[in-house]
């Protein structure tokens, strides 16, 4: 069952998205060599709660922190802690904001200090894949068009598109139907229509697509331990096309 949102509900999700975007801006300003991922978590929690919202992830299925911090070979669900960032790392920060009964969900991968051109290219291509996927969000298109757009953007570069973790509907629940794979043929799966709110989130690996879950029950790494990137926005499908609810930079 896909829950479509009324314009009033999308207004609330837009507010959640603004709180999230402001939080991501604050986090980006703090990213530098020497900063611990746990420090970023504390900043995010303060930013979200001071805005009158709740961090969606804290306590979600027992997750212990307000954000996910996934460094280098960690694809998603990294747990913040004492790990200090070093120049040459990348850090994917995933933030969820719960505001007046609705969630917004967004992730971004940031370089720390100077990263290799190989890694920089991976970030650029993954962000490009996100925007290509978002461009497919309009009434009458299908969920399969989103994944196909990701795959089409990534394929020429030979990177691995993660298959075990996917995008999703988002709203009163953090994870709603439909599931949104980042691969597959166009023209398949559910038809998009106005009022759907979707978390679009390509996860792309410098090496192969295979993943491995670590023993902490959360951290997901690339099987080959090569770097991974993750870019995510929450998007509302509108009668005219779409609106990015977690857009940063005004």
Can you give the binding site for Mg ion, defined by CB under 5 A?
Answer: 94, 105, 107, 199, 232
Compute the least distance from the CB of residue 63 to Mg ion, in Å: 11
Residue placing its CB nearer to Mg ion in the complex, 44 or 199: 199
Residue placing its CB nearer to Mg ion in the complex, 84 or 165: 165
Compute the least distance from the CB of residue 186 to Mg ion, in Å: 22
Compute the least distance from the CB of residue 229 to Mg ion, in Å: 13
- 57-66 contacts, C-beta under 8 A, 24 or more apart: 57/94, 57/95, 57/96, 57/174, 60/96, 60/174, 63/218, 65/38, 65/41, 66/41, 66/95
- How many C-beta atoms surround the C-beta of residue 131 within 10 A? 15
Give how far the C-alpha of residue 11 lies from the chain's centroid of Cα atoms, to the nearest Å. 21
Give how far the C-alpha of residue 107 lies from the chain's centroid of Cα atoms, to the nearest Å. 3
Compute the least distance from the CB of residue 250 to Mg ion, in Å: 22
Residue placing its CB nearer to Mg ion in the complex, 26 or 157: 26
Compute the least distance from the CB of residue 114 to Mg ion, in Å: 27
**Burial class (CB within 10 angstroms; exposed 0-12, middle 13-18, buried 19+) of 190:** middle
Query: Which residue is listed with tokens 């896909």?
Result: 2
Residue placing its CB nearer to Mg ion in the complex, 103 or 148: 103
Residue placing its CB nearer to Mg ion in the complex, 74 or 107: 107
């Amino acid at each position: 069952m896909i829950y479509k949102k009324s314009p009033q509900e999308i207004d609330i999700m837009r507010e959640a998205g603004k709180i999230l975007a402001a939080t991501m801006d604050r986090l980006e300003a703090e990213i530098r060599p020497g900063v611990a991922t746990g420090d970023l978590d504390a900043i995010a929690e303060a930013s979200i709660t001071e805005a009158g919202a709740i961090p969606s992830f804290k306590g979600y299925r027992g997750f212990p922190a307000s954000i996910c911090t996934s460094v280098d070979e960690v694809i998603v669900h990294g747990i913040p802690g004492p790990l200090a960032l070093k120049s040459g790392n990348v850090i994917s920060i995933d933030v969820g904001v719960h505001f007046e009964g609705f969630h917004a969900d967004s992730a971004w991968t940031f370089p720390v200090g100077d990263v290799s051109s190989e890694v920089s290219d991976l970030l650029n291509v993954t962000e490009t894949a996100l925007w290509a996927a978002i461009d497919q969000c309009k009434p009458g298109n299908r969920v399969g068009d989103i994944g196909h757009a990701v795959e089409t953007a990534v394929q020429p570069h030979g990177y691995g598109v993660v298959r075990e973790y996917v995008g999703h509907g988002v709203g009163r629940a953090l994870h709603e139907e439909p599931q949104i794979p980042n691969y597959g043929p166009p023209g398949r799966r559910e038809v998009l229509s106005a009022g759907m709110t979707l978390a679009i989130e390509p996860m792309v690996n410098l090496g192969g697509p295979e993943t491995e879950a670590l023993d902490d029950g959360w951290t997901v790494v690339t099987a080959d331990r090569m770097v991974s990137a993750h870019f995510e926005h929450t998007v509302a499908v509108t009668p005219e096309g779409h609106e990015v609810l977690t857009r940063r930079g005004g």
